[in-house]
Amino acid sequence: MFALGKKHVRRGSKAARKGKKESKSKYSKGFVTKIETTLMKLITLHAKKTAGKYEKATMCPLEVQKERLRSIVRKNKKTEYGKRYGFGSIKSIADYQRSVPVVTYEDIRGYVERITAGEKKILTAEDPVMFARTSGTMGEPKYISVTPTCQGKGYSDLMSIWGYHLLSSHPAMQRGKTVSLVSCAVEGYTEGGIPYGSTSGSIYKKMPAIFRRKYVIPYRVFEISDYQAKYYVIMRLGLEEDITGIATANPSSILLMCEKGNEFAEEIIRDIRYGTLSHKYAIEPEIRAFIERRLKPNPERSEFLAKIRNEAGGVLKPADYWPDLSLISCWKGGTVGHYIEKFPMWFSSNGSFDIAIRDWGYLSSEARCSIPISDEGSAGILAIETNFYEFVAVEERMANPEGVLDWSFLTADQLEDGKEYFIFITTTGGLYRYDINDIVRVEGYYNETPKIAFMRKGEDVSNMTGEKLSANQIIEAARQAGTMTDVAPSHFKAEADIDESRYILRVELGSDIPKDKCRGFLKCFDESLMRLNIEYKAKRNSMRIGDPVLHVMRHGWYDRWQMRLVESGSRAFQGKIQVLSAFKSGATEINRELDRVIEM
């Protein structure tokens, strides 16, 4: 999330401020401003010092990584895991690689279950303060230990560095307000009474007051359990303010936020006029009371929103109600980056899209692994002071997927620019040589330290008959087909139909596209895949893979699918979007959402 609030004056801002409420405080505005300015100067000075220290570290990544590994194994040598694998005798990276096995979550699930039950000193010397709960590949959720060190200086330094470089590029961003989307900090408790939930929610909830004032959405809103109600309240509060920054991991969440703002427009405009909160949505009474205490009638802002909606033909867009918006922070690459291509339809004014987008960084429930320092691309500097990393070239692992003992594990100083690698992490949270099953690509260097970008999950590859089709190829083929046919699906997902040896492309379209035009899109999609993947082309030409089929889904399919994921335990704002599956969805699930089938 943003380290500081932001504001950048753009054309139309005077109009957008019309109707904005004046907040009241027992302190004068001048006094508060003076205090905030002084604190911000101190914070900026600290961030500059931290960034300078990290600058020196990037000159010698191997030495920094050696020390990071020594620190982790030394601190945890007396744990059960540390004793079993001889942490006390490890003196080098080579020792570590010889003594400690590569593991997946399933390999350590037994250890974690004992920790969640309350046992101590199993994987880490520190007791966890919480667990980040995330979906597991085997169906059962994963519990990722978060220790005091995980939330300590190392993490705060990463965010200081990120914030320092952001403000260096966008110095006006210290003013204004931000909409940030996070998940609930506490979703439940383990058998041992330890909370589990979202680390981003936990950080947001504990944010110091000087930063909290910059964020429009109070944390309690993210505790609303009903999916529709949560989005309603987010946009009810957001549309009343002049937002200058948006921050959340997943760009699809930003698009959905825009869609919901337009869908709920009439109710929101009415609620803003009267200072109310619609009773149409299921909001927990205590949270409703908390929100309603913040609300006051604001007829002028309501009239402004109604006016711009009417002038836009009945559409309420952030380009009109947030014209001062100048920075969006979210994931830009991997399997979600294609959603950014849809930003202009909501955020452009008069055909001009000039909002900066800063990548959120390569991070997961397990670890934050990169620090983006530029608006260009999605790569970030490898976070060498926080975790220890090993890498295996993608082609080597794919050629020998079961031969972990034969893989060549590389360190950060041994990577090649432009090459893709599987990444293995060792963290302060008790993950040792952990196979996170992520593929990253090296995209240049910052001094001597590689910059990495997340590409896809390792399982985001379908391989029915040797074609090794990747999620990135699906995304690019859909983009090319959309450009060539002027058919732009709102959402899409490709699935391998193993029984018929073909691919099914499921799409949700924004309008009723004629059958012939849909067929043209499908044909262009297939041709693009053949250009992007020579193995797919060979299998298509040899008829080992049949013609793809297009499933046009009913309007709202994606939204309903997301709601089901949320209801089953996934998070609304942070789930990575699956655009490729190696298996076909069940008929019961699909038939209720299927509008029509189009074949080539």
Domain region containing 411: 376-457
- Does 522 lie in the same domain as 492? yes
Cα separation, 21 vs 30, in Å, equals 18
Cα separation, 533 vs 45, in Å, equals 50
Q: If phi over 0 gives left and psi between -120 and 50 gives alpha, with beta otherwise, what is residue 158? A: alpha
Grouping H, G, I as helix, E, B as strand and the rest as coil, residue 384 is coil
C-beta separation of 287 from 223 below 8 A: yes
Please report, in tens digits, the pLDDT of each residue of the chain (600 residues total): 344 333 333 434 444 444 444 444 556 666 656 766 676 677 778 788 888 899 999 999 999 999 999 999 999 999 999 999 999 999 999 999 999 999 999 999 999 999 999 999 999 999 999 999 876 544 478 899 999 999 888 888 888 888 888 888 887 777 789 999 998 999 899 999 999 998 888 889 988 777 788 899 999 999 999 888 999 999 999 999 999 999 998 888 899 899 999 999 999 999 999 999 999 999 999 999 999 999 999 999 999 999 999 999 999 999 999 999 999 999 998 877 778 988 999 999 777 788 999 999 999 889 999 999 999 999 999 999 999 999 999 999 988 888 999 999 999 999 999 999 999 999 999 999 999 989 999 999 999 999 999 998 887 788 787 788 888 899 999 999 999 999 989 889 999 998 888 999 999 997 789 999 999 999 999 999 999 988 898 888 878 889 999 999 998 888 887 777 666 656 666 555 678 988 888 887 788 899 999 999
Domain edge (last residue) among 436, 457, 478: 457
Grouping H, G, I as helix, E, B as strand and the rest as coil, residue 260 is helix
In a domain, 293, yes or no: no
Q: Listing from the earlier edge strand, what are the strands of the sheet with 594-599? A: 580-581, 489-497, 502-509, 549-553, 594-599
C-beta separation of 72 from 428 below 8 A: yes
Q: Which of 580, 570, 576 is nearest to 249 (CA)?
A: 576
- Does 588 lie in the same domain as 476? yes
In a domain, 111, yes or no: no
- Does 453 lie in the same domain as 490? no
Q: Which residue has the tokens 């991070």?
A: 363
In a domain, 336, yes or no: no
SS3 assignment for 1-28? CCCCCCCCCCCCHHHHCCCCCCCCCCCC
C-beta separation of 44 from 51 below 8 A: no
- Does 572 lie in the same domain as 477? yes
CB crowding 169-194: b at 16 or more within 10 Å, else e? ebeebbbbbbbbbbbbbebeebeeeb
C-beta separation of 157 from 166 below 8 A: no
C-beta separation of 411 from 479 below 8 A: no
Burial of 124 (0-12, 13-18, 19+ CB in 10 A): buried
- Does 470 lie in the same domain as 390? no
Contacts of 66 (CB under 8 A, 6+ apart): 92, 93
pTM, whole model, 2 decimals?
A: 0.80
| Contacts by 104-109, CB closer than 8 A, 24 or more apart | 104/137, 104/434, 104/435, 104/437, 105/136, 105/137, 105/142, 105/434, 106/136, 106/137, 106/138, 108/431, 109/140
- Does 468 lie in the same domain as 431? no
- Does 446 lie in the same domain as 418? yes
Type of residue at 567:
E
Domain edge (last residue) among 422, 457, 492: 457
In a domain, 418, yes or no: yes
Total structural domains within the chain = 2
Grouping H, G, I as helix, E, B as strand and the rest as coil, residue 502 is strand
In a domain, 47, yes or no: no
- Does 569 lie in the same domain as 494? yes
In a domain, 257, yes or no: no
Q: Which of 196, 187, 185 is nearest to 219 (CA)?
A: 185
Domain edge (last residue) among 426, 441, 457: 457
Cα separation, 376 vs 363, in Å, equals 18
CB crowding 447-477: b at 16 or more within 10 Å, else e? eebbbbbbbbbbebbbebeebebbbbbbbbb
- Does 476 lie in the same domain as 390? no
- Does 437 lie in the same domain as 551? no
- Does 453 lie in the same domain as 465? no
In a domain, 410, yes or no: yes
Cα separation, 159 vs 17, in Å, equals 30
Q: Which of 218, 235, 240 is nearest to 290 (CA)?
A: 218
C-beta separation of 207 from 26 below 8 A: no
- Does 503 lie in the same domain as 446? no
In a domain, 60, yes or no: no
Eight-state DSSP code of residue 429: T
Q: Which residues face 489 on adjacent strands?
A: 509
The answer to whether the Cα torsion of 516, 518, 521, 526 is positive or negative is negative
